[in-house]
Chain A
Amino acid sequence: MKKKPLDRLNKFIIFALLSIFAVVSLLPLYWVFSTSLQLSSYQSMDMERPVSYVDSNPPKMYPMGIPLYFEHWKGEREAKKAGDAELEAYHQAQMDHIVSNTFGSFKSLFKKHDVGKWFFNSLYIAVVVTVGILLIDSMAGYVLAKKRFPGRNLIFWIIISTMMIPGQVTLVPLFIMVGNLNLMDTHWALILPDLSMVFGVFLMRQFMYSIPDELLEAAKMDGASEWRTFWTVVLPLAKPGLAALGIFTFMNVWNSFLWPIIVLNTAELYTLPVGLKTLQDANLASFKLLMSGAAVAAIPMIIVFILFQRYFVQGLTLGGVKE
């Protein structure tokens, strides 16, 4: 097929249009990082009072520390050449101030607030739940797909039918139950209900169907136990499904919010989203600080997304396949 010039023009217009939409959709995320690194106090020789570029109208579209640092760096070199020690020291002090102010909110997040702890809590809860879900749901999905036993279909349909019920329905009973089990304000109150999510059973069952029966038979012939077959034959074959499920579980747990704000009351136990809410409640107008907190919470998911993008797509298209 030969390309017509009109085709190329069309493609260019589409590309330009999509770029505009992409910029709009990524702007809030950019704004988080831009504000978190914005200079919140700066005073040069010709200014009467220090200014904040966070609260400025019109807004500064990028961290002002970058051009100002460069300016002072040039100034410092010129002062050095001219042999003006006083001016050189002034520029140096300004440069130090710019660096410490730009990253200052991150420093105070980790020093004055418990962000480091919240980050760790979120991370370890997400990892524990993800590993647990992968094991538990692949076990369940495997037998539901590959074994025939009385009650198989009944169990599957009971589990799947609860996927239709919105999570809010069980909030109150779960709250009472967690209280009765003496788990209130502990991480178990988050981990156990998260491990009970049913989506993974559905996903893994779908996935396990594609494993050839002959391989399972062969393993049986070799005298492998059920567990060995599962561990050495089934799991390696289910890797793509596990990857997709793992990523979605991690994302859901990392971002989960409603249930954690209900059961957690101790600042030390907060997960990042809960911590960010209390941070916002206490510092309603310190947008540089708030955006720094938001940035800390956003970075891990962005990294996970970039590394495992392929599996995001896979997981979505797998999960959407209806029988």
Chain B
Amino acid sequence: MTQMPMGAVPKKKEEKMKLFRKPNKNLFRQMKKNYSAYLFLLPKLILFTLFVAIPVVWAFILSFQKYKVFGSEFIGLKNYIEVFQSDAFWIALKNTLLFTVVTVPFGVISALVLSTLIFELGKLSQSLFRSAFYLPTVTSMVIIAMVWRWMYNYDFGLFNYVLGWFGVGPVNWLGQSNTALWALIIMQCLIPFGVGIIMYLASMGSISQSLYEAARMDGASKFKQWIHITIPLLKPTTLYLVLLSTIGSFQVFTQIIMMTGGGPGSATETLVHLIYKTGFRDFDFGLAGAQSVVLFVIILIFSVIQFRVLRHDE
């Protein structure tokens, strides 16, 4: 078991205590002895420091500054006040929230249902459907957005044509402010959540069959087994998927810039698109920095809430 990650935990504590007790000489001796380990880490550490660590710290500093090429000045919370006082931010937040609140549950639940159905089938059909549902996930969102813009075309689009079968008249999906956001939401819902399906299938495979046999003995129906055995045991996977897709959903951007540009008006403005516009169209770096810190905090809050709600009941 010592090779497992879990086994490393007690050793970690031991090590720390040693560091505190023994004088620094020992520390240096240990570092010297293990110099090759540091050399192995060096490339990643340099890259990480330059392009991750420094920018992260800098982002927080920037959000309190008015950026100028030579000598930025600290302006306290002014950027944050401007963020919260602008209508654009609240509209973007509202749109992003609506997008998330609809697409995340839909994606996760549909992945659960689809993988339950797939799991019932034989090995060959399983891998066939797994591929069919995962393939759209490996395709770039740029491509998916381009083809959906074409499918949403008012005159010749596939979407209006199919709706016509059901007697729904042609709709200018992306061109009207009351349908544009919903068009993006529908599109997101119709892209299968491939990651979810693969992970659910893997987790379902690791549930012990004896549980189901016991339930069958007690005369529980398939549906009851699903509700009382499968779903509770998949909870860790569900938590992971909800977190993953919420984080992804808060960062929705590619569809926006490729399909609507945030319009019409600001009907499809989202947080990341707003950050992009503020930072790289208006070049207001301080304000964009503050917006991105706010985005980070929102994602963090959501993650913590979801973690609290969905984690194992103890």
B173 within 8 A of A: no
Binds B, one of A28-36, A74-82, A86-94, A107-115: A28-36
A277 within 8 A of B: yes
Smallest CB gap from A144: residue in B? B41
Residues of A contacting B: mostly? helix
Residues of A within 8 A of B97 (CB): none
Residues of B within 8 A of A297 (CB): 140, 142-143
- Scan B283-310; emit 1 where CB is below 8 A from any A CB, else 0: 0010011001101100110010000000
- A105-131 residues at the B interface, CB under 8 angstroms: none
Query: B52 touches which one: A21, A196, A294, A304 (CB < 8 A)?
Result: A196
Once A57-B155, A140-B40 are accepted as A-B contacts, the answer to whether A168 and B240 lie under 8 Å apart by CB is no
B280 within 8 A of A: yes
CA distance A166 to B291 in the complex (A): 12
Smallest CB gap from B114: residue in A? A21
Q: Is the CB of A291 within 8 A of B31?
A: no
Distance in Å: Cβ of A194 to nearest Cβ of chain B = 9
Distance in Å: Cβ of A309 to nearest Cβ of chain B = 6
Most A C-beta atoms less than 10 A away, residue of B51, B55, B195, B299? B55
Q: Is the CB of B53 within 8 A of A162?
A: yes
Query: B132 touches which one: A22, A206, A230 (CB < 8 A)?
Result: A22
Residues of A within 8 A of B147 (CB): 28-29, 31-32, 35, 291, 294
Once A18-B118, A305-B135, A317-B198 are accepted as A-B contacts, the answer to whether A168 and B12 lie under 8 Å apart by CB is no
CA distance A262 to B257 in the complex (A): 12
Distance in Å: Cβ of A203 to nearest Cβ of chain B = 12
Residues of A within 8 A of B221 (CB): none
- Scan B153-165; emit 1 where CB is below 8 A from any A CB, else 0: 1011110010000
Question: How many residues on the B side are at the interface (Cβ–Cβ under 8 A)?
Answer: 102
Residues of A within 8 A of B21 (CB): none
Once A147-B37, A169-B296 are accepted as A-B contacts, the answer to whether A209 and B50 lie under 8 Å apart by CB is no
Residues of A within 8 A of B276 (CB): 171, 258, 262
CA distance A55 to B154 in the complex (A): 11
Binds A, one of B1-9, B100-108, B175-183: B1-9
Distance in Å: Cβ of A216 to nearest Cβ of chain B = 11
List 4 tightest A-B contacts by C-beta distance, closest first. A149-B34, A173-B58, A170-B55, A173-B55
What are 29 A-to-B residue pairs whose CB atoms are below 8 Å?
A18-B118, A18-B121, A18-B125, A25-B132, A28-B136, A31-B147, A55-B155, A59-B157, A139-B44, A140-B44, A162-B48, A167-B251, A169-B55, A169-B295, A172-B288, A173-B56, A177-B55, A193-B51, A212-B3, A227-B36, A257-B140, A276-B146, A280-B258, A287-B156, A291-B146, A301-B140, A302-B135, A302-B138, A312-B138
18 further contact pairs, Cβ within 8 A, besides A18-B129, A168-B292, A210-B3: A21-B192, A31-B150, A137-B44, A147-B34, A150-B27, A153-B15, A155-B45, A168-B251, A169-B55, A169-B56, A171-B288, A176-B58, A176-B67, A192-B51, A257-B140, A277-B258, A290-B150, A316-B198
